[in-house]
Amino acid sequence: MALTDLSDLYGAINEEGINRVVRHLMRLRPSLFNYGTEAVASNLELLCQPIDADPMVFARNNPLITIESPLPVLGTDGVVNLNYCVQLTDFKIDFHPSNSIDLPPELSLLPEQHFALSARACVGLDCPDPKFMQQLENALDQLYAPTFIDDFINPKDAAGHTSSNNPGKPGRKPPPFTIPTRKLKCFCLEVYVIGHMEISKTNGRFLIKPKLDKIEIVDLRPQEMEDMIECYVASVIRLGLLPRIQIALEKIVFDQMKIVTVTLKPAAGVPHNPSIEKDELRAYINMEVA
């Protein structure tokens, strides 16, 4: 049986090929997979996992991580902030049939026409040094007015005036402050995803896109926390990563004289297009020559 029995053109990439593509993508655009605060960006030793980037990334001063705002300490009105980082590493894709990723029991078997993806999500968060924490407490004492016992006995009047026994005035709010970091506390989660591929038409262009079906983070308890973190990671993958990974079937010009323009569109009548089978992602495409 010929590869093109169902269409004019046929394209396929196997899982070893796609994993090499992902590896190149991670090495050339590390900032797509690594996020953290400015302090982390300027001191890469704080990262949970070292970043394996192409030498050209360093040569052209490309960022290794996408800089995000520090994490505010709740209750400090955004004055005190913590450094953190989030890293997605060790991406691996397995096209059906599943033979290179051991899926956790929660995801059971990989369905036909689906792919599995495994990755590590590493999160690092600063935990301030106890001595520094003590200094911060002292500093914050100056910031907030104390609450007197009398305030409980004679609460504020209707106009909201404070008790006459409270001579203190709130201090001026200092500028936001991020606690200096020597080391982040890190942990890594194993993330497993099951997804499939779709062709859709957007703005007149046919796009082959990956879609997420299920996600599982292994060994997290309690269940509600696992569900919440899975929901967040799924949002990152759905909204942050996958929209950037889509292949457009566009017009191409084959000959160097540029007198022939070929318009590509997905072949109709193919049971699954694109298809995931025999460890490959396959696309069946018809063409019109103008």
Partner 1 sequence: MAHLTVASSEGAVSKLFAGLRDNFSINEADSVDAGPFTAGYEVAFHLEGGSVDLRNDGSILISELDIKWDKLRLYAGIDIPELCIGGFCIIPSPWGCILRAPRICIFEADPDIGIDLNLNGLLTSEISLAARPVLKYFVDPARPAGMSWLDAEDSNLANQWQLFIDPDWLDIDIFDWSDIVGDLLDDAINSAVDDLLWFLPGWAKSLIKAILGPVVDLVRTILDIGDDIEEWLSDLLGVSLGLFDFITTAVADYFAARYPLLEIEDPFPVMGYQNGLIPIKLPIRDLAVAIDDSEMVLTANVGATL
Peptide bond into 243 cis (omega under 30): no
Is 20 a binding residue for partner 1 by CB under 8 A? The answer is yes
Shortest distance (Å) from residue 66 CB to partner 1: 11
* Beta bridge partners of residue 284, listed in sequence order: 10
Give the residue, chosen from 34, 42, 50, 54, that forms a contact with partner 1 under the rule CB under 8 A.
54
Contact between 257 and partner 1 per CB under 8 A: yes
Report the nearest approach of partner 1 to the CB of residue 161 (Å). Answer: 54
- Determine, following the binding rule CB under 8 A, whether residue 66 of this chain makes contact with partner 1: no
Residue 2 or 153 with smaller CB distance to partner 1: 2
Are residues 81 and 72 in contact, defined by beta-carbon separation less than 8 angstroms?
Answer: yes
Q: Residue 2: exposed, middle, or buried by beta-carbon count in 10 A (0-12, 13-18, 19+)? A: exposed
CB of residue 34 vs partner 1: minimum separation in angstroms?
13
| Residues 27-46 as x/- pattern, contact with partner 1 by CB under 8 A | -xx-x---------------
Distance CA 164, CA 202 (A): 67
**Rounded distance between C-alpha atoms, residue 110 and residue 253, angstroms:** 38
| Phi, psi angle pair for 161, to nearest 5° | -70, 145
- Please, which residue, 221 or 244, has the CB nearer to partner 1? 244
DSSP assigned state of 175: P
- Considering the rule CB under 8 A, would residue 8 count as an interface residue with partner 1? yes
CA distance 186 to 183: 9
Contact positions vs partner 1 (CB under 8 A): 2-4, 7-14, 16-17, 20-21, 24-25, 28-29, 31, 54-57, 59-60, 62-63, 254-257, 259-260, 262, 287-290
